[in-house]
Amino acid sequence: MFHSSLRGHSGPMQKFPVLFALVFALVAGLALWWLLARNTATGQQQPAPVPTRAPVNISIEADSGDDWLHLNAAVSEGRLVGLPQLLDWLEARYVGQVLEVELESEDGITVYEIEMVGAQGQVVEFEFDAVSGELLQIDGPGVEAMVRQ
């Protein structure tokens, strides 16, 4: 039975769901790496690698702590493109690791800014219209070397 002092308690999971999702993804990735490394060291057959994405630092330019709820609702209702759709698009066309994702408003347009690092260490920023998903701009050196063949 729950104590009455716990009623109405909002724990860190409710306050920071994105952070917990990212921490969970990191822990799951480390556990998978550990299992694969252990199987290799003991000579056991290694399972096929599972494609995974590295944890992404997501920052939302917002005035209040509840703005992520409005953004989540906008994605759910189809008013904004979901981040996974943009990450899949980038992964299909460019080789690199996502460093940071920002969702912000510039000149009245809501945009995703996604930074990737290429194999040569170059950092390239891709800017997408968050409503249409259209690629607006690519900024950074060596983007040609990141194009998937």
Q: Which two tokens stand for residue 113?
A: 């800014």
Q: Which residue, among 57, 53, 120, has the nearest Cα to 140 in the 3D structure?
A: 120
Q: What does the pLDDT read at residue 81?
A: 94
In the predicted model, what is the mean pLDDT of residues 21-25? 55
Portion of the chain with pLDDT greater than 70, in percent: 55
> What would the pLDDT profile of 40-64 be if each residue is shown by its tens digit?
555 544 444 434 444 445 555 545 5
Average pLDDT over residues 61-81: 76
Residue 23 pLDDT: 55
pLDDT band for 21, please (50, 70, 90 cuts). low
Mean pLDDT value across residues 72-87? 90
* Residue spans per domain, the chain: 1-51, 53-149
CATH placement of domain 53-149: 3.10.450.40
CA distances (Å), origin 61, targets 39, 58, 68, 110, 139: 43, 10, 10, 10, 20
